[in-house]
Amino acid sequence: MPHYVAIIEDGPDDAVSLWFPDLPGCISGGDDVDEALENAPEALAFYAQELMADGRQLPPPRTRAELEADPDVAKDLRNHTVVLIEWPRTEAAE
């Protein structure tokens, strides 16, 4: 199963946000890191549903090395916590 790189950032009022460099606009959040991570698969599923409704598919995830070579992402990778979020494919998402 593919894994998407996600970047975790502290937000205002101790909130935590998590976003995916390969999936513009796909974000997760929570009161703490654990909650943001717990919500991340649901954010991926919702994002995939929206793409499918538009006749598109999730783009393939880039490796961390590929993201580090992207100047728009490299600084965030260096300055924030990076995690991998598994995308559990379902028949509806394939």
Both structure tokens of 72: 């728009």
Mean pLDDT of 15-26: 95
pLDDT, mean over the chain: 89
Q: Does 33 score more than 80 pLDDT?
A: yes
Check if the beta carbon of residue 27 is closer than 8 Å to that of residue 17.
yes
Which domain, by its residues, includes 56? 3-93
Q: Does 94 score more than 50 pLDDT?
A: no
pLDDT recorded at residue 89: 61
Categorize the per-residue pLDDT at 43 as very low, low, confident or very high, splitting at 50, 70 and 90. Answer: very high
CATH number for the domain harbouring residue 20:
3.30.160.250
**How many structural domains comprise the chain?**
1
The model carries a pTM of 0.86
Helix (H, G, I), strand (E, B) or coil at 93: helix
Categorize the per-residue pLDDT at 51 as very low, low, confident or very high, splitting at 50, 70 and 90. Answer: very high
Check if the beta carbon of residue 16 is closer than 8 Å to that of residue 33.
yes
Q: What is the Cα–Cα distance from 4 to 43, expressed in whole angstroms?
A: 12
Give the model confidence (pLDDT) of 65-83 as tens digits. Answer: 999 999 999 999 999 999 9
